[in-house]
A and B are shown apart, each in its own frame.
Chain A
Amino acid sequence: MRLAIIVNHPENSDPPTSPAELHKTLIARIAANRDRDAFRALFEHFGPRVKALMVKAGADHAMAEDLVQDVMMTVWRKVELYTPQRGAVGTWIYTIARNARIDRLRRHSSRPYEDLDGLELPSDEPSGEDELQASQQAEQVGEALAELPDEQRRIIELAFIQDKSQSEIADQLALPLGTVKSRMRLAYQKLKARLEHSR
């Protein structure tokens, strides 16, 4: 309901055409005006998805809810660091969730894991081509994942969703470490071919 209201907001003379475009518009409104309606729309979309990610990675519901709060606080505080060449908004939020997951579930350190936030170098200046690519990327990734053999897709899901390390994946699937690595490489090569083809 709320998304529909925002799409029809009178200030949006050019309504976004896809969810990915809508998310970028919401981010731009938060960055420009600390727009709380835009933040609520983003929270209502991504909050439950971030929670699902944390539960699948082994967090209980209370911890998962806490992590949703942390992740969305980071989105609010660091919204200026989102740039379209980082990919879709969902990809950026995934990386924030991934880092929060590392901090809370695994690392137990007071110093936050900061990764590459804010590391956009001069060569990363946005171009129209990059933005186009970013908006198509999610679709391409979905198609490429669907085409992977089950044994490769399973490894990707264990790594990205269930937060398993390479050696944990090897243990869980009773495979040699080398096999896990080579399946990761094969999966990535197919995904890469698809993503580069989309340029």
Chain B
Amino acid sequence: MNVCHHLDDATLLRYASGGLDEAFSTVVASHIAMCDECRHAARSAEAIGGYLLEDGEPEVLSTGAFDRIMERLDSASAPAAEPVAPEPTGDVPLPLRRFVGHSLDAVSWKTVAPGVRKHAIALPSGSASSLYMLSIAPGKAVPEHGHGGDEMTLILSGAYQDALGRFGPGDIADLDEHVEHQPKVEPGEPCICLVATEAPTRFKGLFSRLLQPLVGI
């Protein structure tokens, strides 16, 4: 996959150290599944954790800790080695499949504005950020907006263009709150993307602001 827009370096470290919440880590993991370069970079960043794990002063375990785990291994009813089921092929990246299945065609959409359909993804309670998918019609422009907080958008199919360039499948817009953009979907096919937002997006113009409750993005 020819990916042009990658993760911010700070995001890679946050992902590798487990510092992203579930909405953002799902978007990052889905990008990593589609992008060889960022996957290798994430593995390298995880090596920092591996080094620090080895380097720290160990804590003595209580007596019998190993015996307890052996008892658990023996009492586990399932065979110790779980067979790895072959994944069905599909256009949904692996980390997203536990939420929406393996096919983009099977996602259920709700129209939230003309040309804009949304699929909200329920996360465990207590998750501050929200995670959802959008399917935006060909040629449709999303109102110019800044972000009340971090936002990440991963393109799953189709493409859009904005001041930052063209975003096609696998590309991620890893934006902080200061960036304002006005994506316009390319003609031809809808643009399906996966979005994590930290806080409700603020639209700039008055009309856009009126739209926001409808679009909810």
- Chain A: residues with CB nearer than 8 A to chain B? 19, 34, 36, 40, 43-44, 46-53, 55-56, 61, 64-65, 68-69, 72-73, 76-81, 85-88, 90-95, 97-99, 101-102, 107-109, 111, 113-116, 118-119, 121, 123-124, 137-138, 141-142, 145, 156-157, 159-161, 163-166, 181-182, 184-185, 187-189, 191-192, 195
- Most A CB contacts (10 A, CB to CB) among B32, B50, B60, B81 go to B50
B13, A111: Cβ atoms closer than 8 Å: no
Contacts of A97 in B (CB 8 A): 53
In the complex, are the beta carbons of A192 and B41 less than 8 A apart?
Answer: yes
Does A80 contact B98, Cβ atoms closer than 8 Å?
no
Pair A44/B66 contact, Cβ less than 8 Å: yes
CB of B80 within 8 A of CB of A34, answer yes
Chain B residues with Cβ under 8 A from A77's Cβ? 80-82
Query: Which chain A positions have C-beta within 8 A of B142?
Result: none
Q: Pick from B14-22, B154-162, B207-215 the stretch touching chain A.
A: B14-22
Taking CB as reference atom, which chain B residue is nearest A52?
B59
Closest to B124 in A: A109
In the complex the two chains form, is B54's CB within 8 Å of A49's CB? yes
Collect the chain B residues with CB atoms within 8 Å of residue A111's CB. 98, 124
Task: Please name 15 further chain A to chain B contacts, defined as beta carbons within 8 Å, in addition to the given A47-B61, A53-B53, A160-B16, sorted by A numbering.
Answer: A34-B81, A36-B70, A49-B53, A52-B59, A65-B65, A68-B65, A86-B43, A87-B47, A97-B53, A98-B18, A115-B29, A156-B17, A165-B19, A188-B13, A195-B44
Contact A107 B13 (CB under 8 A): no
Task: List the B side residues contacting A187 at CB < 8 Å.
Answer: 13
As a 0/1 sequence over residues 144 to 164 of chain B, the CB contacts with chain A under 8 angstroms (1 = contact) are: 000000000000000000000
Choose from B47, B59, B69 the contact partner of A137 (Cβ within 8 Å): B47
Q: Is the CB of B84 within 8 A of A80?
A: yes
Q: List chain A residues, Cβ under 8 A from B102.
A: none
> A48-B60, A77-B81 given as contacts; is B72 within 8 A of A181 (CB)?
no
* Closest chain B CB from A58 CB (angstroms): 13
With contacts defined as CB atoms under 8 Å apart, how many contacts are there between chain A and chain B in the complex? 195
Report chain A residues within 8 Å CB of B44.
87, 137, 191-192, 195
Which parts of B1-19 form the interface with A (CB within 8 Å)? 8-10, 12-14, 16-19
> Which residues, 22 to 39 on B, are CB-close (under 8 Å) to A?
22, 25, 29, 32-33, 36, 39
Which residue on chain B has the smallest CB distance to residue A124?
Answer: B39
- Looking at chain A's contact residues, is the secondary structure mostly helix, strand, loop, or mixed? helix
Secondary structure at chain B's binding surface: helix, strand, loop or mixed?
Answer: helix
Closest-CB distance, B8 to chain A (whole angstroms): 7
For residue B43, which residues in chain A have a CB less than 8 angstroms away from its CB?
A: 85-87, 91
- B56 to chain A: which residues have CB within 8 Å? 49, 52-53, 56, 161
Q: How far is the CA of A145 from the CA of B54 in the complex (A)?
A: 13
- Bound CA span A108–B125, Å: 9
- Residue from B18, B56, B61 having most chain A Cβ neighbours under 10 A: B18
Task: Give, as a whole number of angstroms, the nearest-CB distance from A185 to chain B.
Answer: 4
The docked-state distance in angstroms from the alpha carbon of A183 to that of B125 is 32
Instruction: Determine the distance from Cα of A98 to Cα of B42 in the docked complex, in whole angstroms.
Output: 14
In the complex, the answer to whether B52 meets A102 with C-beta atoms within 8 Å is no
What would 25 A/B residue contacts be, using CB atoms closer than 8 Å? A48-B61, A51-B58, A52-B58, A61-B62, A65-B61, A68-B61, A77-B80, A90-B54, A99-B18, A113-B25, A114-B95, A115-B25, A116-B94, A116-B95, A145-B48, A156-B17, A159-B14, A160-B16, A160-B17, A163-B17, A165-B19, A166-B10, A184-B9, A188-B9, A195-B44
**From A44, A102, A109, A115, residue with most partner B Cβ within 10 Å:** A115
* CB contact under 8 A between A91 and B47, given known A55-B59, A116-B29, A119-B94: yes
